[in-house]
Structure 1
Amino acid sequence: MRVLVTGASGFVGRAITQALLDAGHGVWAGSRRGEGLGAAQGLTLDVTDPGSVQRAVGQADPEAVIHLVGIIQEEGRQTFERVHVEGTRNVLAATPRGTRYVHMSALGAREDSGSRYSSSKARAEALVRASGLDWTIFQPSLIFGVGDDFFGRVLRELVSTAPVVPQIGDGSFPFRPVSVQDVAQAFVGALSTPQSVGQTYALTGPQEYTFRQLLELELRALGKSKPIVPVPIALMNLAVPLMGLLPRPPITKDQYAMLKEGNTAPNEPARTVFGLPLLRLDDQLAAIVAGARNRR
């Protein structure tokens, strides 16, 4: 199958592109720089530019489109609304009817979320469901793997920056992280699973953790021993906006809002439908933080 992947150069995009190649698909790797990825041919594709999207789709002539482009932090003109909502609108408009369409959303996507990231993801989902395409939507939890942003940067910096580790409130917010390998297997599997058309699947891992447990895991993986100090929600509500004034804040307002909401769901039916191995965070975290250290 000829597959066009948007956001192919990102952390998840690279994993999905490789999984597609391993499965024998012909892959066009769409990204703003247009770089090729192994045997996947590169295409210049900026989802915020309708003309760029039209040209890329016309060149690839895909039988399937996997739309992955997303941002976790707004910067200049790259806003959640422009990238997630308008970008999805542009991709859907360029995708011919009869083309298989697989969409990357996020667990917790809903219009009334306190996170602008999550609410923009929900609006993008609504566009997909109204598109008339043969679509499947995936909603991953926190995605882990070597090169990830959350465990390799956000949580790492949170536990490393100060002499003590700040814990948001009582630290009881639940999370069920999922491996990038499981995510890639689900996306590729959807292309050969007719029953997944018109379905939305949560993608979560085998084990649920509280926020405090994630902090403890990260400390152990880094070989650090520090006290974890609960910070009242009221105080965090004041501190996080001030962190946003830093050139590279350890946590943004949107990330903070998502952490307070937690991020968990059952791993069925995705586990059974796509035969996911459900790899464990505990088994990979040491490699993730080592990889992040080597990239510094």
Structure 2
Amino acid sequence: MRILVTGATGFVGGAVVSELALRGHTVLAGSRRGTDLPNAQGVTLDVTDPAQVMRVFGEANSEAVIHLVGIIHETGAQTFERVHFEGTRNVLAATPRGARYVQMSALGAREDSGSRYSSTKGRAERLVRESGLPFTVFRPSLIFGPGDDFFGRVLRELVSTAPIVPQIGDGKFPFRPVSVEDVARAFAGALEQPETVGQTYDLTGPEEFTFRQLLELELSALGKKKPIVPVPLALMDLAVPAMQVLPKPPITRDQYAMLKEGNTAPNEPARTVFDLPMLRLQDKLPGIVGKA
């Protein structure tokens, strides 16, 4: 199958492209720089430019599209609205009618979310369902693997910066992280299983953790011992906005809102439908933080 992948050079994109190539598919790797990958031809693609998207998709002659483009924080013109919502609208408009379509959403995506990240992901899902294309939507939880942003940067900085580790509130918010390998396997599998058309799947890992347990796992993986000190939500509500004046805040407003909500769901039916290996966070975390 000839497949065009948007966001192909990102953390998840690289894993998805590798899995598709391993299965014998021909992959076009779309990214803003058009970078070639070892197993895929690069094409220059900015999903926020509707004219470019239409031209590239017309030339690609692809049988399937996997739309992965997403951002964790907003920078200049790269806003959640422009990238998640308008970018999805542009990609859907350019996708050939009848081509297989797979969308990267996020666990907790909903239009009325207090997080702009989650709300734009939810609105993008609506566009997909109204598109008339044979679609599949995936909603991953926190994704872990070499190069991930949350465990490899956000949580690492949180437990490393100060003599104590700040814990948001009571630390009981639940999470069910999923490996990037499981995510890639699910995306590739959807293209090979017609029964997944029209379906939305939560992608979560084998075990659920509280936020405090994630802090403890991160400390252990880094070989550090520090006291974990709860910070009342009322204080965090004041501190997080103040952090936004920093060039690169340790946590954004949207990340904070999503952390307070938690991020968990059962791993079925995705685990069975796509025969996912369900890799464990605690086995992979030392390698993610550079300690293995």
The TM-score normalised by the length of structure 1 is 0.98
For residues 62-101 of structure 1, the C-alpha deviation after alignment (integer angstroms, 9 at most, x for no partner) is 0000000000100111000000000000000000111000
The SS at the match of 2:27 is strand
For residues 164-203 of structure 1, the C-alpha deviation after alignment (integer angstroms, 9 at most, x for no partner) is 1100000000000000000000000000111100000000
Alignment of 1:74-153 (within 5 A): 74-153=74-153
Query: How far apart are 1:52 and its partner, in Å?
Result: 1.3
Asked whether 1:61 is paired with 2:43, we answer no
Mapped contact 2:135–2:199 kept (Cα < 8 A): yes
Mapped contact 2:17–2:39 kept (Cα < 8 A): no
2:240 alignment partner in structure 1: 240
Q: Output the amino acid matched with 1:99.
A: A
- 2-structure distance, mates of 1:18, 1:57: 21
Asked whether 1:6 is paired with 2:3, we answer no
Mapped contact 1:85–1:120 kept (Cα < 8 A): yes
The SS at the match of 2:97 is coil
Query: How far apart are 1:255 and its partner, in Å?
Result: 0.1
- 2-structure distance, mates of 1:245, 1:163: 23
2:255 alignment partner in structure 1: 255
Asked whether 1:282 is paired with 2:282, we answer yes
2:33 alignment partner in structure 1: 33
Query: How far apart are 1:59 and its partner, in Å?
Result: 1.9
1:208 alignment partner in structure 2: 208
The SS at the match of 1:290 is coil
- 1-structure distance, mates of 2:53, 2:179: 29
Query: How far apart are 1:61 and its partner, in Å?
Result: 0.7
Identity %: 76
Asked whether 1:269 is paired with 2:273, we answer no
Q: Output the amino acid matched with 2:42.
A: G
- 1-structure distance, mates of 2:244, 2:213: 25
Mapped contact 1:30–1:56 kept (Cα < 8 A): no
Query: How far apart are 1:146 and its partner, in Å?
Result: 0.6
1:220 alignment partner in structure 2: 220
- The number of residue pairs the alignment matches comes to 292
Query: How far apart are 1:114 and its partner, in Å?
Result: 1.3
2:167 alignment partner in structure 1: 167
For residues 223-251 of structure 1, the C-alpha deviation after alignment (integer angstroms, 9 at most, x for no partner) is 11111000000000000011111111110
RMSD: 0.9
- 1-structure distance, mates of 2:163, 2:249: 17
- 1-structure distance, mates of 2:118, 2:275: 27
1:157 alignment partner in structure 2: 157
- 2-structure distance, mates of 1:193, 1:120: 28
**Displacement over 6 Å in runs of 4+:** none
Alignment of 1:173-188 (within 5 A): 173-188=173-188
Mapped contact 2:9–2:29 kept (Cα < 8 A): yes
Q: Output the amino acid matched with 1:37.
A: L
The TM-score normalised by the length of structure 2 is 0.99
Q: Structure 1, unaligned stretches of length 5 or more?
A: none
